[in-house]
Structure 1
Amino acid sequence: MSDDTPYILVLYYSRSGATHQMARQIAAGIESVAGIKARLRTVPPVSPTTQAVDSEVPEEGAVYADLEDLRHCVGLALGSPTRFGNIAAPLKYFLDSTSSLWMNGALIDKPATCFTSSSSLHGGQESTLLTMLVPLLHHGMVYAGIPYSETELIETQSGGTPYGASHVAGARSERIVDEHERTLCVAQGKRLARLALALSPLRGEKRS
C-alpha cells in the first residue's frame, strides 16, 4: 500500500497487555479490508505529580499518539481497560487534550468504535464502553458497535457486547483473548474499515 493509503487509528491504553492484544486483533480486521490500513498508537501513563517521569518513546509496543494521528485518520478504534466501570485515566487525559480538533470539526462524520477488557465477567465492561463513546459523540463521530449478525455475541461465555468488543482477562490477567473474543475484535475492525471507506466520500462532499 502507498503512503497515502487512508488509515484507521487504533488508539489504546494497556497495563497488563489484554487491551493491547485486542488492539492487534482489531487492526488485523481493519487490514483485511482492501484500500485501508491500521495505525496502532498508545498513550503514556499519567502521574500524580507534575514532573514527567516516563520516556517520550515507550520501551516496547506501539508509539505514543499525538493529535495529528487523530486529525488525519478516517476512523477511530478506542480501547481501554475498565477502571471502576469507566475509561482509564491516561486515555481520558489524552481525549481531554483534543479541544482544538473539536473546535475545527476535524472528526465530524468519521466512524468510531470502542473496546475494553476487565478482570471479571461483570467488571463494568458495558458501562466503560458507553462512557467511552460520549466524547466521540461530542466530536461528531459516527459510532459503530457490533451487530448480532455476528453470532459470537450470542455464543460467547466471556467477553463480547453489541457496544463493542470486550475481554475477560482474569483476576491476574492470565487469560488470553479467546476464540469468540478474537472473532468479535476482527469483525469489529472489518466493520469499521468498511464504514470508513464508505463515509470518506461523504465527508469530502460535505466539506466542498
Structure 2
Amino acid sequence: MASIQLNNELSVDLSKQFLLAMPGMDMGEWAHSVVFLCEHNTEGALGLIVNRPSDITVADMLERLDLQVEPGVEAVAAQAVYHGGPVHTDRGFVLHTAGNKTYASTIDLGDFQLTTSRDVLEDIAKGEGPEQFLVTLGYAGWGTGQLESELAQNAWLNVEAAPSIIFDMPYEGRYEAALGALGIHSSMLTGVAGHA
C-alpha cells in the first residue's frame, strides 16, 4: 500500500495496526474503541472497530441471507456480529485468519484476511469457513488527511495489530491488551493533549 504524503514528506502507512481511542474520545462508539486499520493511503483510511459487539449473532445474519446453519456449527453461529463503524452499517465484513481457500473479494493483510463476499459466510454456515474470524457490519472511514489530523490532536494511539488480541481474547479485554503492547495501562492516559 502507498504511504501517505504530507507536505512533500512521506508519512507512515498505518495499515494493519490498531488505533486505540484516547480518553478525550470518551463519548459514544469511539470510547475505548480498538480499530483494526485495514487500509491507509493518500485517499484516506478504512478500519473496523473490533471491540463493539452488537446484539446480532452470526446465526441472525446467516438467516437474513437465507443461509442454513449446518448441525455442529451452532457455537460458531452464536458469535456476535460486531459494530464495525458508523459508515455503511448495512455492509458486512469478515476479518479472518488465512486458510486454504481464497474467497472472491479477499484482501491479504498479512496475518489477517478481509473478505466482503458472500462465499465466506456460506462456508461459515457449513462449518468450512476460516478457523478464526470476526464479522462486522459497517466500518470506520476517514477522508484524505482526516486521520492524520486526528492523530496530531492526540485522539488515537497506534500499535501493530496482533491476531491473538482479536481472535483469542474476549472483547472486553482487547483495549487493555492492545495498550499493553505499548507497555501502558489505561490508568496512565489523560484526555488532555500535550505537545512538546
TM-score, normalised via structure 2 length: 0.27
More strand by share: 2
Larger Rg: 2
TM-score, normalised via structure 1 length: 0.26
